[in-house]
Amino acid sequence: MKKPILGSQSFLSDNTKRVESYEKYIKEVYDKPANEKPIYTGRYFMVLKEGQKSFAKTKKMLESKMGFSVANSNDYVSESLNESNMEGADVLIYEDLGVALVGGEDEQIQMLESADPNADFILEPEKIVYIPDDSPGVLNIPSTWGIDITQAINSQFTGQEIKLAILDTGFDMEHPDYKGRIITTNSFVPDETIQDVHGHGTHCIGSACGNIDSNGQRYGVATNAWIYAGKVLSNQGSGAQSWILNGMMWAAKNGCKVISMSLGSRVFPGQSYDMAYERAAQFAISKGAVVLAAAGNDSRRSWNQFNPVSSPADSPSILSVGALDSNLNIADFSNRAINPTGKVDIAGPGVMIYSSWPMPIRYRTISGTSMATPHVAGITALLWEQNPNFKPDQIIEQLRNLTKKLSLPGIDIGAGLSIAP
């Protein structure tokens, strides 16, 4: 049986498939049924230990010894790196990252799985990525407390000409609040346009770089940032991990100074971060970007349930953002730094957040670390405007230095509440 080839979405629509080892893990460790959402696509990432150095040797091995059909991400410069353009390919090599996405026949996958432990690569299963389980609020309560409490409302900076990328479910290109804005879009979801049918992406873009609503009330942080909307999650709010990598590389290569991702895959105690994400984040940093991601909404603190920071926010080179409410208490759902590699770096407003939504609804109030992340992303854009000659690590240092210190554990909020310059 052949694994899903590049370009297939079948692994996203079949919610009955499970990974047996995952079910066993859940039963033994958590003693409860496995989550209804599937975890893996059935494909794998080959993370090359020597990165680009072993690219040529790996390509030759995949093609000549194992019979794979190989595509290279660098061949898609003039067109979107979208799997729908690669039907029939078994492997997509991200030469810049030293990572390869592998589909192919079961026999081929088994050959890779049985490779010598001292081989030149590490195999990681490709995850399915979801919008965090955000909590709906009242449909339309125009409270923009996040703009006030982060002091963005008083900042002299607007993110002018700073390229800010939101990788999510797309964007409502017809939303009247964004007329006249500089907006660049790209869809990495096979057979779907940039149009945001779900709503989550338009809401995140609003918090990061929206401006004012129909009544003149401001709800966005970086009101003059140049918007880069990358659709990496489908209209149902899910996507393949490779689509996220495609979006990250697109944003980095286009000179985005901020890459914000309110998405993730659940991580369990003891699990380490995904090397593919870490390689992509390091590539983005090398191009001058700061990368942020939502810490995740899997905890239920009121029930004394704490879950680790989600992937990709648990990657060392990605800033993980936790959520606070308007009283500056940690949100009940916000994940905690439980695993050694999954810290919370900073916190932002994430409860009852009012922002843009696809028409005709136009606005909506929801809660989640998804909402906290674009607030911090917008503040990061303001810092880039203030310090155009800084490097990413200097911007991050400024971001930490400006935080409001709170009497809450660092494992929940990192350096504190993000404050605008």
Q: How far apart are CA 107 and CA 89, in angstroms?
A: 16
- Is residue 250 helix, strand or coil? helix
Percent of the chain past pLDDT 70, that is, above it, reads 82
* 200 is a catalytic site residue: yes
Catalytic pick among 96, 168, 298, 412:
168
By DSSP bridging, strand 238-240 and strand 121-130 are antiparallel
* Residue ranges of domains in the chain, CATH in brackets: 10-126 (no CATH), 135-413 (3.40.50.200)
- Asked if 29 and 256 touch (Cβ cutoff 8 Å), the reply is no
Q: Which of 310, 362, 6, 350 is nearest to 196 (CA)?
A: 362
From 8, 73, 155, 200, the catalytic residue: 200
Given a cut of 70, whether residue 12 has pLDDT beyond it is no
Res 106: pLDDT: 65
Each residue's pLDDT tens digit, 354-387: 999 999 999 999 999 999 999 999 999 999 999 9
Distance CA 144, CA 378 (A): 14
Q: Could you tell me which residues come within 8 angstroms of residue 408 by beta carbon, excluding any fewer than 6 positions away?
A: 328, 329, 330
Highest mean pLDDT among 18-27, 62-71, 171-180: 171-180
Q: Is 302 a catalytic residue?
A: no
Read off the pLDDT of residues 152-209 as tens digits, 9 standing for 90 and up: 999 999 999 999 999 999 999 999 999 999 999 999 999 899 999 999 999 999 999 9
Count of CB atoms situated within 10 Å of the CB of 165: 32
Active-site residue, selected from the candidate residues 73, 238, 320, 370:
370
**Residue 119 pLDDT greater than 60, yes or no:** yes
Report the range of poorest mean pLDDT among 118-127, 134-143, 322-331, 401-410: 134-143
Q: Is 168 an active-site residue?
A: yes
Contact residues for 151 (Cβ-Cβ < 8 A; gap 6+): 419, 420
Res 34: pLDDT: 40
